[in-house]
Structure 1
Amino acid sequence: MGSAPQLHFVLIPLMGQGHLIPMIDMARLLAQRGVIVTIITTPVNATRFQATIDRTVDSGLPIQLVQLRFPSVEQPLEHFIENLQSPPSCMISDKYLTFTAQVAQDISDHEKFFMPGLPNQIEFTWAQLPSPFNPGSLVSPDMKKNRDRIREGELGAYGVVINSFEELEREYVERYRKAKGEKVWCIGPVVVHLCEEDKFGVLVKREDVKKAIEKVMDKGRDGQERRERARELQKMAKMAMERGGSSYTNLTLLIEDIMQQAARNQEAKTLETVSSLNLNS
């Protein structure tokens, strides 16, 4: 097992003896437990309580003092924290310093993490996650209620039909099958152009389209590899949809499964009717 990560706490006290001294004591307690601590205050505040701060820093504990100038502390604070060699694990600030909550949220949105339990090591930031999985996303009460209902429907569904093919993401499909009790069928790719009579607008930024085209049309090695990969995927997708292919077979299995389920339901209804007739005879 790997060693535990080194924690780094950033403490931001309010100016005033009744606020700064307790925060410094808190910093000392944390540092005594092996936590790296950074105290952020203003030059004026640091001067007023320099002796207390010096004793703490000179104690040999992993505590550092950073001075940021007022009145514009918010932007320097965010810039300072973003450029720390050891990113903060936790930020503790006085409740009256309301701007620190937004600074912490902005930094957390771009903090990278790895999704556990996946076959590959995939790196995300919270800001990249879709709103259903993003705790910082703004949603109305009605939207949240609808989102919860969708989630409940997914959890209660008999199975899942996916617009993909197994060769594209086999390990993920296998894990999903284990989670859903084998009731997962990849029957795609279902192509869009077959449904062109129903045209729905999709919001795609012009810059995103431009970047995607540039990546594919790039004449360098990366562009060539992308084009070769696209041709391979096209061939794999076509084979999956043909008779005997994985998606063709999955569609057959889906139909057979539902047919068996319907037959069992019909048999149960018949038995119920017979039982009812026997009771009334």
Structure 2
Amino acid sequence: MSEGLQFLVIGDWGRGGTLEQIETADQMAKQSPDFIISTGDNFYDEGVESLDDPHWRDSYENIYHHSSLQVPWYISVGNHDYGGSIRAQIDYSLISSRWNLPAHYYSFRQYLNQEEVLFLVTDTSPFIQEYYEAGKSAIIEQNKYRQLDWLKSELALSSAKWKIVVGHHPAYSSSPFHGNADELIDAFVPLFKQYQVDLYLSGHEHDLQLHKPLGNTYHLVSGAGSEVRETGSYGITQFSASCNGFALININDDILTIRFLDKKGTTLYQEKVMKEAVTLGN
């Protein structure tokens, strides 16, 4: 274990070991994380059908087999996961010692020197209008207003020193493939500002990005677990790269350090977030 609290962020990964998934997993294993966060699209192209789906073996267990990756994985749901059974992914939590997906959205907490770090894992697909227009019934059935009330309540009641929200879709994205999600900018970003969320973790874009819009929240994209696509940059972009990789985050007292690493273990970018600076800025 590292000094402080250390975790990995990986998204858009489950492709049976192809498209550099294995090489990326091997580098993840060298970081010795305390836990891992998946930003969704866990299995391509259409999720898993059941607890017996071969994807569990071919795209997860046999790929992330290293002893250092036998730590808790906190899972979020992506739009491709809706192509299969979300219930199967939830139920896998009951038979796996490391897979954690108790519901479509949920919270968990970590502690550092008796200070709480709050994680709120959301299901962003119900907020994206294009899925309604496409008639994605499994997504349409979800109550986004109830989820938004839950998110607001959790943030309002929290006295955690650090607040981190996880979702599949980025609010801000410099990729030409999807770009900004205006629905999340409208629904999530005002809550992030009001309740001083430090970090929003997402995937969906098959690249690595970090953005710092107005306010105290950093927006991180880690969706390069297997297939990668072209990315870009615009005014609020701190970093972007089109390559396989993941994010490594360390929290130590008043400093949160974000590092992006590629499939060879090379550090592509590093950013330090100072808690005192964030607090004084509001």
* Alignment TM class, shorter chain as reference: under 0.3
Q: TM-score by structure 1 length?
A: 0.26
Q: TM-score by structure 2 length?
A: 0.26
Larger relative CO (CA 8 A, sep 6+): 1 or 2?
Answer: 2
